[in-house]
Structure 1
Amino acid sequence: MHNLIHWISSYASVLAILVTLGVAVLLVCCLECTNCPSREKDDIFSRHEV
């Protein structure tokens, strides 16, 4: 357990960057998707489309 905590604390900045990039990619993919089936079903997207 101590080794795991030490590894996470050593690579915390790398993990934070990877998580941030992953979330950014998911947001871009979802927002740029024109034929996304969830947009047609979702009330929030249909009410707030630009």
Structure 2
Amino acid sequence: MPAIIDRCGAKRRNGEPCRKLPMRNGRCHLHGGKTPTRITLSPSYIRECSSNVS
């Protein structure tokens, strides 16, 4: 019996399920697999960026 491989949990534009292999978060690279779950910036980096805008 072949092993069942999970697929991406997203649906395509035509309503069919995506058939690509998922990454760790359950979505393929096209449907958010490479999206970071949380980005934390250091306070010094935020100050530096805000001073460059002015």
Instruction: State the structure with bigger RCO (CA 8 A, min sep 6), 1 or 2.
Output: 2
Normalising to structure 1: TM-score of the pair?
0.28
Q: Which has the larger radius of gyration?
A: 2
